[in-house]
């Protein structure tokens, strides 16, 4: 009932948003919704993160999987990597859904092209990011925790970005003097003023944090949680995390990376505080990795990957989408998990049901020529 009235109201609002009217199009009850897109760059090995109870995988990569008794059993034919203790708890509480075998329409194996594909998702219609198109539809400001604005957030709609300092932070006295120095230069003065406002929120400001930013996840995930939880803070955020390209000796790397991601997501939830129940987070990577282990105890660029959808607004505690299985005949090009689920559909369903963007805007402006939206990811 609520759902229907919300969508019909949004049909109208979506139409006006194209005319650049300065009121946000969030429908009633949705103005506090939070959406965070976390992109794991490098090709996260979804089959190590969420391992099917299948003898096919055991034979293909026995030497690089954690032993079955340490995996965290979801009781539905899949088990999480033992590093994901926080995620397991969230899953048990119904706050996480997993979509395995998920991919964009990109089918080659280049990181850069695949990352462009997942950040543009425009089917040739655009070279700028889909999140920016969504922000335009919502007439809302986005926040990226990254050095430079990531492609997904690039476009006409204004986006803020923040990253920890390269060097030790400048003193307030220096910044005050610069403000005076910029008295005649409106552009520089405005930019500096916004920067000072952004850093005012208890952000880590020393160089050691910058190193943690690169090597450990809690910092950017903590930062985005902190920023989005403040009164009037942004509704849409993005974090891109590097280092998932595990061609060799991936066991130790992934033990650590999964632990960091798990810790980061738990910290993010904690920082979001009461906003958590209005939050939907999507974690995904540009592609998955090969089913079989390679000669250096790693895995190579694959196709179907793992998408995690989590947050208090998520109808979780389930596996979603199709599962093609790992029988040799079911593999894509005989080597990859088949990409039977579509990332764009997943995001389309979330933008519709969570942020209330109307179908027409989704089909025409945000994801032109895309498949139908994925249903049932958001709690109604």
Partner 1 sequence: VLELHTVTPKANYSQTDVTEFARALTGWTIDKQYLRKTKNNGKAYFNKTWHEPGMRTILGKTYFPLGQGLAPIIIRDLCHHPATALNVATKLARHFCNDTPPSTLVTRLTKDFIKTGGNLTSLYIILIDSPEPWQAHSQKVKTPYELLTSTARMMGDDSVFSVRHHDVYEGFGQAPFKAPTPEGWPDDGGSWIGSDAILKRVEWANNIAFRHAANTDARDFLHHALGPRLTPSTLKIVEGAESRQQALALALMCPEFQRR
Footprint of partner 1 (CB under 8 A) = 127-128, 147-149, 151, 154, 160-163, 165-170, 173-175, 177-178, 180-185, 187-188, 191-192, 194-195, 198-199
Taking the least distance from each CB to partner 1, the nearer of 150 and 218 is 150
- Residues belonging to the chain: 380
CB of 147 to partner 1, least distance (A): 5
Taking the complex as a whole, the smallest distance from the CB of residue 338 to partner 1 amounts, in Å, to 29
| Minimum gap (Å) between residue 61 Cβ and partner 1 | 32
C-beta of 133: minimal distance to partner 1 in Å? 15
Helix axes 250-272, 85-92, angle to 10 degrees: 50
The tokens for 269 are 């939830």
- Closest CB to partner 1 among 127 and 360? 127
Q: Give me 308's structure tokens.
A: 């995690």
> Kindly report the CA angle at 240 between 234 and 244, in degrees rounded to 5?
155
299: left (phi over 0), alpha (psi -120 to 50) or beta: beta
In whole angstroms, the minimum distance from the beta carbon of 77 to partner 1 comes to 40
Q: What CA–CA distance (Å, rounded) separates 253 from 248?
A: 9
Least separation in angstroms between CB 223 and partner 1: 12
142-145/318-320 β-pairing: unpaired
Q: Which is nearer to partner 1, 50 or 203 (CB)?
A: 203
* Residue number with CB closer to partner 1 (169 or 313): 169
Rounded-to-integer distance, Cα 308 and Cα 289, Å = 16
* Whole-angstrom distance, CA of residue 66 vs CA of residue 336: 20
- Choice between 21 and 181, CB closer to partner 1: 181
* 162 vs 367 by CB, closer to partner 1: 162
Q: C-alpha dihedral over 127, 99, 51, 272, to 10 degrees?
A: 80
Q: Tell the smallest beta-carbon distance from residue 227 to partner 1 (Å).
A: 12
What does the DSSP 8-state code read for residue 168? S
* Nearer CB in complex with partner 1: 94/243: 243
User: From CA 240, how far away is CA 260, in angstroms rounded?
Assistant: 14
> What is the CB neighbour count within 10 angstroms for residue 210?
19
Least distance (Å) from partner 1 to the CB of residue 174?
6
| 3-state helix vs strand vs coil in the chain, percent to 5 | 40, 15, 45
Taking the least distance from each CB to partner 1, the nearer of 123 and 294 is 123
Question: What residues contact 232, with CB distance under 8 A and at least 6 apart?
Answer: none
């Amino acid at each position: 009932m609520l759902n229907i009235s919300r969508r019909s109201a949004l049909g109208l609002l979506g139409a006006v948003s194209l005319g650049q009217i300065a009121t946000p199009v969030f429908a009633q009850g949705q103005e506090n919704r939070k959406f965070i897109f976390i992109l794991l760059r490098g090709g996260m090995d979804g089959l190590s993160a969420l391992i099917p109870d299948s003898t096919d995988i055991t034979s293909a990569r026995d030497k690089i999987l954690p032993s079955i008794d340490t995996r965290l059993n979801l009781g539905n034919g899949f088990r999480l990597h033992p590093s994901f203790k926080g995620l397991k708890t969230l899953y048990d509480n119904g706050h996480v859904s997993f979509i395995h075998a998920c991919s964009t329409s990109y089918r080659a194996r280049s990181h850069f092209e695949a990352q462009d594909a997942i950040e543009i998702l425009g089917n040739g219609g655009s070279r700028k990011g889909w999140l920016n198109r969504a922000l335009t539809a919502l007439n809302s400001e986005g926040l990226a925790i990254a050095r430079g604005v990531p492609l997904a957030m690039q476009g006409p709609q204004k986006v803020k970005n923040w990253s920890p300092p390269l060097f030790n932070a400048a003193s307030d006295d220096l910044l005050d003097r610069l403000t005076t120095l910029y008295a005649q230069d409106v552009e520089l003065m405005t930019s500096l003023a916004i920067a000072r406002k952004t850093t005012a929120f208890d952000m880590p400001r020393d160089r050691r944090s910058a190193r943690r930013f690169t090597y450990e996840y809690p910092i950017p995930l903590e930062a985005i949680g902190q920023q989005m939880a403040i009164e009037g803070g942004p509704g849409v955020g993005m974090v891109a995390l590097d280092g998932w390209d595990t061609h060799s000796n991936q066991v130790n790397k992934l033990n650590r990376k999964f632990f960091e991601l798990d810790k980061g997501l738990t910290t993010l939830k904690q920082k979001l505080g009461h906003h958590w129940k209005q939050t939907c987070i999507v974690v995904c990577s540009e592609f998955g990795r090969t089913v079989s282990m390679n000669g250096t105890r790693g895995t190579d660029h694959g196709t179907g990957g793992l998408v995690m959808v989590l947050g208090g607004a998520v109808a979780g505690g389930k596996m979603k989408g199709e599962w093609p299985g790992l029988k040799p005949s079911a593999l894509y090009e005989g080597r990859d998990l088949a990409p039977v689920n579509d990332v764009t559909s997943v995001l389309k369903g979330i933008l519709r049901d969570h942020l209330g963007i109307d179908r027409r805007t989704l089909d025409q402006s945000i994801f032109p020529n895309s498949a139908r939206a994925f249903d049932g990811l958001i709690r109604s």
